[in-house]
Structure 1
Amino acid sequence: MKNNYLQNAKRFVRNSLSCFSFFLLLFTTMQTYAQNPQCQWAEKIAGTARDNAYSTSTDESGNVYVAGAFDSPTLTFNNGIILANSGVDDGYLAKYNSDGVCQWAEKIAGTSYDYAVSTRTDESGNVYVAGIFGSPTLIFNNGIILANSGDLDGYIAKYNSSGVCQWAEKIAGTNYDYVNSISIDESGNVYVAGDFASTTITFNNGIILANSGDLDGYIAKYNSSGVCQWAEKIAGSYNDYAYSISTDVGGNVYVSGRFWSPTLTFNNGIILANSGDLDGYIAKYNSSGVCQWAEKIAGTGYDYARSISTDVDGNM
């Protein structure tokens, strides 16, 4: 039974992130077409089966970080770097310099389905990764291991610029629990967005959220040491998701997602009413986790808000 659950989770991750990757590619294409740039380099990350790169980020020195997952027995980067698969799907995190030369690659792996789906850097050159794992245990380097609490657990981890894991924390219950996106503010705080099907989902530092429906969205804040500061759910009576998270220079937090429930409830008394089958939404929180406003993006059919980003002027 659990294997069936994990197969479904595998398809969910691939389908969801394939859509995300398509929109990211389309957006980049439109931007580059408008600016008429020239491609400087392109590199493949490849094996003999299905291998994916789900998320990229850059640091202030121009290095490029990529997070993904691989089915292949071995995954080959350039510069002679190869990773061996430990299970069915393994997650990975890799660093390239500004010329596209791979500096290191590290796997995040167990014996089953494990994914690295989002990555971001901080101003000190550390790199953070978020994902999900179905393995009984998830192994990082530097002797760090997480134990699974249910069918599928979320995780976040911090690495230094040399690829050494500093800490890892799970976000978990007894059912399907996801981390979909990660963001870092200018003070080094870590924000994550995801959703959970468990009756309750547990963060560290004694923080727990209770489910209101079938699937609830959430956002959470951690300090740079990996200690959860707060967590807030975004919830109704059906399936509601938090797909993407971003921060601005003022320390505010923005989240986007979709909701199926007749009404979607945020904290601070803010509620959105559904207009059709599935509506998209965006919302703003302050650094203390208090919702400032929420807006839906809606029609009468299936509508999504897959990804969110902010600029230096506070626009989204």
Structure 2
Amino acid sequence: MPQAVNKKVRSRAAAILCWMLCLCHLDSRAQVNYAWAVKQKSGGTMNETPAAMCLGGDGQVYVAINFNSTQIEFKTGLFIDNTNYGYDDVAIVKYDAASGQLLWVKQLHGKYHDRSTSIVSDANGTIYVGGTYRSTYLTMGQDTVWNIEENSSYPQEDMFVIALSEDSGNLKWIKSFGGTKADYLTALQADKMGNVYAGGYYYSSVLNIGNTELTTNNNSNMFLAKLNGTNGSVLWARSSSSGGQGYETLKSISLDEHGNIYAAGEFNSPWLVFDSIMLLRENLIDVFLVRFNAQGVATWGMVYAEPLNDYVQSIALHHNSIYLCIDSTVNYNNGIWPQRSKLMKLNISNKNIEWEKSLPAIRFSRVVIDTSGYIFTCGFASDTVNVDGVSINCVKNYYASHFVLALDTGSGNALWAKTYTKFISSNFIIDKSRIQSICTDHNGTLYTGCYFQDIGIQLDNITCLNAEPTGYDYIVSRINYSYIGVGIKETFSDNKVILYPNPASDVVYVQTDPFINRGSLRVFNSLGVLVMEKQITDNNINMEVSHWPPGMYYLQLSTKKASGVRGFVIQH
């Protein structure tokens, strides 16, 4: 009899779970909401903007913030000071993913402008931050690196990469690279083997990266470097060969599951050469895409060109496709809007564009992929527009309203859009808000970093007030879309996740395979409401359920590599 009851329970659980998944896909445009939104308690009269964000291996949220106000005060009462008023410093902030609670803050500073551009994590508990600094020195804690022009009163830009511990935020290492002219780091990525890839472009005639010297005869040249994540040592660094006195910039990099690195940027030289691959420019400014293997050898490349000038903003990979945000323009309208901004899907094998989204009054700036088969892009809009029946509402016409748009990776069809509810306006300040960063846990949650100007902004029922309306304040927020694609990606086999007893009345025991040591655990009731959420820190998890109402529940485990759903019943 007990076996028969359990079979019946499991059958019922499977049926309800299938019904829920079907319902989720049919109703994919509802119930997307802001779970939390946080900002600093107060700032100065100038700007605080989130340059980049990522999720760590521990499932928490990490944000790199550039600020030129004299001070930022956080809600916990913590202060960080900028002693060089008007020049940018960098703050790296860790937030709890479930609640938005501040966990720690670290500061990176020099004498003049220091700006972050990228932040990524690896599976070994390390956070990497990269950017550019125009100070004679750059300091974090007790560690300092020096600009190659350290004897200059106002040196040109050099680049930095730092590694921090996820747990404490303590510095593991800091590295500086540069030459005698301006050099810019624009992108970072970390692979599964503990390596870090840094990309950007340089104006120096000689760029020093570790023991490697890269040269250029151009106005600027792209570079890509591979670093050992343990100590920051440079494993290799490379650039391209090009014809003419044009320029080239690397703007975005992404990794595939085979360890290849894809780099994207622009160029106006007549041609580019990467090993055996030659790319020819067709118009004034074109986009290049190049794939490198783990040894830094180019194995694939192509040019994207239109009659207009083309500028890449962001790329992301999913299976055999590249997703790109590209601006195409001849000139700007009032210095703000490109003539066309596009989001597109490119087939790597045949180099064909499979679909493209291009809308008036829309600027796409970032793109990320959920392994369950959804694409998320963010940007800003100058007017209300309709995408496949999904409305992106511009709260203040002409001025920039930020948005997040979800689309299906296969068809490119829009699923839902999210923006803020309203501005709290003074009526004389130019209202604008823009999302600069976005990341997803591949498990029904998005995190965004935006900045805004004016008195305040409302995200659903959450109100965020600006500390100084004439400057920019930043907001980090969490958007729940948990019903979309629940359990869809590589799934854990039955012997990897064991849940018992089922039915349960007091305690549910969850045992996981030893390799599942970092990720998240969520429990939903039969209505899809999130009941419990925690980070996985142990292979034996006990859930106290004696106070939960009887009924059907679904436990969802997710790591960066896989996820799984287990149904169980509570009976009292």
TM-score (norm 1): 0.80
Say if 2:209 is the partner of 1:140: yes
Alignment deviations for residues 188-245 of structure 1 (CA, whole Å, 9 cap, x no partner):
1000111111111222x22121111111112111111111111111111231112211
Say if 2:189 is the partner of 1:120: yes
Say if 2:242 is the partner of 1:242: no
Say if 2:172 is the partner of 1:103: yes
Structure of higher CA gyration radius: 2
State the partner residue of 1:85. 147
Greater mean alpha carbon deviation, residues 252-261 or residues 122-131: 252-261
Which residue, out of 66, 75, 98, partners 2:129? 66
Counterpart CA distance in 1 for 2:51 and 2:185 is: 18
Assess, with a 3 A threshold, how the Cα gap between structure 1 residues 171 and 306 changes in structure 2: closer, same or farther.
Answer: farther
Counterpart CA distance in 1 for 2:205 and 2:338 is: 36
Counterpart CA distance in 1 for 2:128 and 2:116 is: 10
Counterpart CA distance in 2 for 1:67 and 1:194 is: 18
Asked if structure 2 preserves the Cα contact closer than 8 Å seen for 1:89 and 1:113, the reply is yes
Asked if structure 2 preserves the Cα contact closer than 8 Å seen for 1:123 and 1:186, the reply is no
Counterpart CA distance in 1 for 2:260 and 2:52 is: 27
Alignment deviations for residues 142-162 of structure 1 (CA, whole Å, 9 cap, x no partner):
x11111131100111101122
Counterpart CA distance in 1 for 2:289 and 2:350 is: 8
The residue type paired with residue 110 of structure 1 is G
State the partner residue of 1:163. 232
Query: 1:19, CA displacement in angstroms?
Result: 12
The residue type paired with residue 70 of structure 1 is Y
Counterpart CA distance in 2 for 1:116 and 1:20 is: 18
Say if 2:223 is the partner of 1:178: no
Which residue, out of 103, 128, 131, partners 2:200? 131
Matches within 5 A, 1:243-262: 243-248=313-318, 250-260=319-329
Say if 2:298 is the partner of 1:228: yes
The residue type paired with residue 285 of structure 2 is L
**Structure with more contact order per residue of length (Cα contacts < 8 Å, sep ≥ 6):** 2
Assess, with a 3 A threshold, how the Cα gap between structure 1 residues 206 and 97 changes in structure 2: closer, same or farther.
Answer: same
State the partner residue of 1:6. none
Q: Secondary structure at the match of 1:41?
A: strand
Asked if structure 2 preserves the Cα contact closer than 8 Å seen for 1:57 and 1:120, the reply is yes
Q: Which runs of 5+ in 2 are unaligned?
A: 1-46, 55-62, 66-94, 150-155, 331-336, 376-572
The residue type paired with residue 183 of structure 1 is S
Alignment deviations for residues 4-42 of structure 1 (CA, whole Å, 9 cap, x no partner):
xxxxxxxxxxxxxx99956869xx79xx89953211111
Counterpart CA distance in 1 for 2:192 and 2:53 is: 24
State the partner residue of 2:364. 305
State the partner residue of 2:263. 192
The residue type paired with residue 115 of structure 1 is Y
Counterpart CA distance in 1 for 2:314 and 2:49 is: 10
Matches within 5 A, 1:6-17: none
Greater mean alpha carbon deviation, residues 279-288 or residues 224-233: 279-288
Query: 1:166, CA displacement in angstroms?
Result: 0.8
Assess, with a 3 A threshold, how the Cα gap between structure 1 residues 164 and 34 changes in structure 2: closer, same or farther.
Answer: closer
More helix as a share of residues: 1
Q: Secondary structure at the match of 1:43?
A: strand
Query: 1:305, CA displacement in angstroms?
Result: 1.8
Query: 1:186, CA displacement in angstroms?
Result: 1.7
Counterpart CA distance in 2 for 1:228 and 1:56 is: 25
Asked if structure 1 preserves the Cα contact closer than 8 Å seen for 2:53 and 2:120, the reply is no
The residue type paired with residue 77 of structure 1 is M
Counterpart CA distance in 2 for 1:107 and 1:199 is: 32
Q: Which runs of 5+ in 1 are unaligned?
A: 1-17, 262-275
Counterpart CA distance in 2 for 1:291 and 1:21 is: 34
Query: 1:135, CA displacement in angstroms?
Result: 0.4
Greater mean alpha carbon deviation, residues 285-294 or residues 120-129: 285-294
The residue type paired with residue 202 of structure 1 is V
Query: 1:286, CA displacement in angstroms?
Result: 3.7
State the partner residue of 1:213. 283
Say if 2:343 is the partner of 1:282: yes
Q: Secondary structure at the match of 2:148?
A: coil
Assess, with a 3 A threshold, how the Cα gap between structure 1 residues 34 and 158 changes in structure 2: closer, same or farther.
Answer: closer
Asked if structure 2 preserves the Cα contact closer than 8 Å seen for 1:149 and 1:172, the reply is no
Alignment deviations for residues 158-203 of structure 1 (CA, whole Å, 9 cap, x no partner):
0112211111111353311000011111211000111111111222
Counterpart CA distance in 1 for 2:349 and 2:235 is: 25
Counterpart CA distance in 2 for 1:224 and 1:132 is: 20
Asked if structure 2 preserves the Cα contact closer than 8 Å seen for 1:279 and 1:296, the reply is no
Asked if structure 1 preserves the Cα contact closer than 8 Å seen for 2:345 and 2:356, the reply is no
Q: Secondary structure at the match of 2:106?
A: coil
Aligned residues: percent identity? 26
Assess, with a 3 A threshold, how the Cα gap between structure 1 residues 139 and 127 changes in structure 2: closer, same or farther.
Answer: same
Aligned length, in residue pairs: 276
TM-score (norm 2): 0.45
Assess, with a 3 A threshold, how the Cα gap between structure 1 residues 33 and 122 changes in structure 2: closer, same or farther.
Answer: closer
Asked if structure 1 preserves the Cα contact closer than 8 Å seen for 2:182 and 2:202, the reply is yes
Assess, with a 3 A threshold, how the Cα gap between structure 1 residues 109 and 94 changes in structure 2: closer, same or farther.
Answer: same
Counterpart CA distance in 2 for 1:214 and 1:19 is: 35
Asked if structure 2 preserves the Cα contact closer than 8 Å seen for 1:127 and 1:160, the reply is yes
Assess, with a 3 A threshold, how the Cα gap between structure 1 residues 62 and 225 changes in structure 2: closer, same or farther.
Answer: same
More strand as a share of residues: 2
